[in-house]
Amino acid sequence: MMRLGDKCYCRDKISSPITKYTELEPALCQELRKIVEALVVPGKGLLACDESPSSMEKRLDEIGVENTENNRRDYRQMLFSADKSQFSKYISGVILHHETVYQKTCDGVELIELLRQRDVVPGIKVDKGLVPLFGAKSEKTTEGLDSLQERCIQYKRDGCHFTKWRCTFAISDSTPSQLAMVTNAHVLARYASICQSARMVPIIEPEILNDGEHGINRALEVHEEVLSILFRTLQEHHVYLEGMILKVAMVLSGIKNSANCTPQLIAEHTLTALQRTVPPAVPVIAFLSGGQSDSDSVVNLNAICAYEGTKPWPLTFCYGRALQLAAMQAWKGNEENVPEAQAIFLERAKLCSEAASGQVEPENGICTRKKNNNSR
C-alpha cells in the first residue's frame, strides 16, 4: 500500500522474483520527517562540534590550552551557553562527539540538555574514522558499521535525534577509483539504513576533498560521479530519501591550483553537479566549509544560495571550523574572555545564516550584509 496523503512513500511490502523486504513503517517515516523539519528551518544551519579529543589537541595547542577533558568541556560549554535567543535563531542542530553527549556543565547541567533548552536538536557523529581501503592506492573508507545499530539505539534513548557519517574522496588523475566510490557509497547507504531503523535522521557526508592541483572542471566531474553512484546505491538499500540530510562540499578547484575561481563560477559548478545528481525528494542540502577560509566559506555559500538556478531543495550550512575558529582564538581557555568569544561565535552564525539566504555581499574581501535587507 502506498500512502500519498501524508507524503510518505513507504510501501508495506514489495515483492519481486529476486527479493522481498519490508520498508520503514509510515509512523517511522513521519518521525524522521518531523526531525528533518526541526532541522530545516529558514535562516538556520547546523553547527558541527564533533571533533574527537585527538582532533581537538591541535586546535587547543594553537591557543595554548592543554587538551584535557575538562578544557574540552569548558570550550563547548562556552559555545552552547551563548545567548539563547541568538543561538536558536541561527542554529537548528548541533553535531556532537560521543564525549560531549555525556558531559555536564560546571553547574551540573548536561550539555545535551543545554542545547534542548535552546530549542536546538542534538545529533551525534557515529563513524569511527577513516582507514585505508585495501586494494586502492592511498584511498580511504570509514569504519564503525559493526556496532552501529546498538549505538544508535542508545544515542536515541539519550536524546540524540540525528547522526553524521563521513567518507572522503581525493581527486587526482587516477582517483577517486571506482572501487573507492562504490565501496564508500555502500558504506554510507548501510549507515543511513541502520540509522533510520533506529529512528534517527542520517546526515550523509561524501566529502570530496579539494587538496591537490585539479581544476574546477575536474572537480565537477568527480562530484557528479560520486553523487550519482551514491544515490543509486541509496535507492538499492531502500533508504528513505525524505528522512535524510545530504552534507556536501562545494565544487572547488584544488588548493594547489593557481586558477582563481570566482564565487559565481563556484556557485554555477556546484549547482550543476547537484541538479544532475540529487533527487528533489532530498529535503535539504547542507554545505561543509571544506578547508576554506572563514571569509570564503561565507562568500561562496552566499553565491550558491543567491544563484538564479533551479534549486528544488533548501540549501544551508553545516560548518565546524568556519563557525568556531575565531571564537576559539578569542576564548584562549580564559573564563574572562567568554562573553567576547560568544559574541564572535554568534556574529559568525548570523553571517552564515544570512549567506544561506543570499543576503550578504563581499566588499574588499570582507563579507557585509546587503543594504535594505528585510529578511529575518
- Catalytic (active-site) positions: 205, 247
Three-state SS across 168-228? EECCCCCCCCHHHHHHHHHHHHHHHHHHHHCCCEEEEEEEECCCCCCCHHHHHHHHHHHHH
Q: How far apart are CA 286 and CA 279, in angstroms?
A: 15
User: How far out from the chain centre does Cα 18 lie?
Assistant: 35
3-state secondary structure of 48: strand
- Which cell numbers hold the place of 234? 541509496
Angle at 179 between CA 178 and CA 183, to 5 degrees: 115
Q: For residues 77 and 114, is the Cβ–Cβ distance under 8 A?
A: yes
Q: How far apart are CA 165 and CA 126, in angstroms?
A: 6
Give the list of residues 6+ apart from residue 136 with CB closer than 8 angstroms, or none.
175, 177, 179, 180, 183
- Which cell numbers hold the place of 250? 562545494
